[in-house]
Each structure stands twice: as structure tokens, then as C-alpha cells.
Amino acid sequence: MINTRTPERAQNLIEQGATFKSSQEIANESDYIFLMLGHPQEVEDLLLNQNTGILQHMKKGALLIDHSTNKPSFGEKINQIAKQYELRTLDIPVSGAEIGAINGRLVSMVGGEKEDLKQIEEILSCYCIDISYMGKSGCGQHTKMANQMMIANTYIGIVEGLIYANKAGLRLDLMIEILKNGGAGSFLLKNQGYNTIERKFSVGFASDLFIKDVNLCLEEAKNLGLSLPGLAQASQLFMTLSEKGYGNLGPNGLLLIYEELNNTKIEGYEKCTESSCK
């Protein structure tokens, strides 16, 4: 059983045998419910809305699995409220972007009871290559916060490296081929390096969603009494990207800001692919 706010997006799954039902119907009938929503307020409304919230409709003993990226404190809050309805919860944000979801190669980070995780590991393994138990409720989200902090600064490093190398007259395709296997190598360089020099900025997920994650990270860092100047700078750069009308582009669209800042442009690689550029 599935539900989405845009039913046409579920057509492929329906054609493969899935049944489209209302969120309340799914709550009434399911032992396990998996969520994946873009914004914290959407999750809170789906779960806790006085009239339509699904927690009040779920079967006793059912398990709620939230794949959305949210505040760690929210995961703890939902867990406590769920207990009042005799329900169980796991916060399991994932990483791997669109390509990871399509290929069933996501990484999941789990907060909650380990025994509850054991019940759904077989299901998770259908689309996750790594399922790691991180601790009590909220710990999955804390891990995702650290993940997003690293991603934000990695994008800056990649874009700055490309801008520098381009100005220095290097072949960027050759540079990526070399560096992706060295100390600067990363998932993002391997998967987004070529996309960036080819000016493919719509791969992955929208920068506006990423800004939401970065701001959640800053809020949680503040709650822990931490000052993270690198992340604060990243937030400002991505906000600038959005303010200039590029919030629908992927985070590698940050290249456009650096090009404007330095009055330069990376071009000539539009037909480049990993195999043809070697």
C-alpha cells in the first residue's frame, strides 16, 4: 500500500501491483509504515494533525519508520508520543541521493530500539546497502546531521577546486579522473564531478531542500553549544544560490555562484562522459 501527495508519481508502482490508499487507511491496516517527506512540518502534520494525523489511526504495536531528514529532537518527541498509542518508532534517515535510491544503494542510519530494527532489516536491505544502528531515538537524525555538514563543505571544496583548476588551464575531466582515486576522492566527486563540468545541475536533489537540511544542522549545533563557521559559510552560499533563482538546481549548482563571483565560466565539457573524457 502506498500514498503520495502527487498520485501520478506513484503510477509506475501501481502498475507493478501497489495499491494506492489514503494515509489513514494505510495506518489502519499496516504493521509497518515508512515515511519519506521533504520538510519537518509535513512530517509533523501527517503524524500529529488533530483531525488527520495518522498516529491516532495506527494499529497498536505497529512500527513507524521515518526516512525523512528532521531534527533529532523531533524523532525523540515522536517516539514519546507514539508510546502513548502503544506504537513504536525508528528514525532512519538515508543518504545516497537520487542515484542511490534508484539503484537500491542507499545508506541508512538508525535511531531507536535495536530489536525493532531487526524486524525490518530484510525490507531495508531491498534498497539499502548499509544499515547501521546508531543508538536511541534521535541518533539516526544526529548521524544525518553530521552527514549533511560534511556534504555541504565537500561541495564547496569541489567547486572551488574546479574553478581554480579551470583558471589555471587544466583539463578538468582529466583532473577529476586522477583525483577521484586519491586523497580528494569522494562519493560526490565521483558522482557529481563530471555532472558539474558538463553543467548538469539538476541531478540529485534540489538546493532548496538541502538548505533546509543545512539550517537544521546549524540549529542542532547551536543546541549543543557548537560554533561551526564552515557550515555557516556554506549556508550563506547556498542561500545566495536560492535567492538568485537557482534553488531548484542540485547543490552542484553552487558553481554558478563561484563563476559569477570570479567572472569566469567552465565550458566545453557539455558532451563529456566519464568514458569519453579519458
Convert the pLDDT of each residue in 247-272 to its tens digit.
Answer: 999 999 999 999 999 999 999 997 65
272 within a domain of the structure (yes/no): no
Inter-CA distances, 20 with 16, 55, 127, Å: 12, 19, 21
Does residue 178 surpass a pLDDT of 80? yes
Q: What is the pTM of this model?
A: 0.89
My answer on whether 224 and 252 are in the same domain is yes
What is the rounded distance in angstroms from the CA atom of residue 93 to the CA atom of residue 266?
Answer: 34
Q: What's the total number of domains in the chain?
A: 2
Q: Are residues 208 and 255 in the same domain?
A: yes
Are both 122 and 181 inside the same structural domain?
no
Kindly name the residue from 144, 200, 222, 244 that is annotated as catalytic: 144
Residue 21 lies in a domain: yes
Is position 77 annotated as part of the catalytic site? no
Cell of 10: 506513484
Residue 116 has pLDDT above 80, yes or no: yes
C-alpha cell at 176: 577529476
Residues 32 and 97 in one domain: yes
CA distances to 179, 241, 250 from 97, in Å:
22, 19, 10
* pLDDT, position 57: 92
> Per-residue pLDDT for 51 more than 50?
yes
Q: Tell me the C-alpha distance between 172 and 127, whole Å.
A: 33
Residues in the chain: 278
Residue 172 within a domain: yes
Question: What does the pLDDT look like over 60-106, one tens digit per residue?
Answer: 999 999 999 999 999 899 999 999 999 999 999 999 888 888 899 99
pLDDT bucket at 278, cuts 50 / 70 / 90? very low
Query: In degrees rounded to 5, what are phi and psi of residue 62?
Result: -70, 160
177 belongs to a structural domain: yes
What range does the domain containing 71 cover?
Answer: 7-136
* CA distance linking residue 201 with residue 159, whole number of Å: 12
Phi, psi of 147 (to 5 degrees): -60, -45
On whether residue 268 sits in a domain, the answer given is no
**42 residue type, one letter:** E
Residue 195: CATH number of its domain: 1.10.1040.10
